[in-house]
Amino acid sequence: MTKATGIGRGGKRKGAGRPKRKPAGPIAMVPPSGLNAQQLAARDADLAIRVLADICANGRSEIHRVRAAKILLRIADSKSSRSTGRAS
């Protein structure tokens, strides 16, 4: 502060700057299922295909329907290439 006017010269003000972030909570332990990644994926594959088919038929926008259709076609093509022994 200056002696004559009592006005400060700047510096850090109380409450200035970005607020501090709260620390992350503890990580919850996920119990092991005894299945490997492929088995876990296969368990939910039918549901995923049904969801993609629903998006393809009833998606909000055209881009979502097209993307879902492309994914379904890619899945169908990979299954047919595996069954016929064709190399990709």
Mean pLDDT within 68-76:
91
Query: Cα–Cα–Cα angle for 44, 45, 46, nearest 5°?
Result: 95
The per-residue pLDDT for range 16-71, each reduced to its tens digit, is: 888 888 998 888 887 888 888 888 888 888 888 999 999 999 999 999 999 999 99
pLDDT the model gives residue 88: 47
pLDDT the model gives residue 80: 75
pLDDT the model gives residue 33: 83
pTM, whole model, 2 decimals? 0.48
Collapsed DSSP state (helix, strand, coil) of residue 78: helix
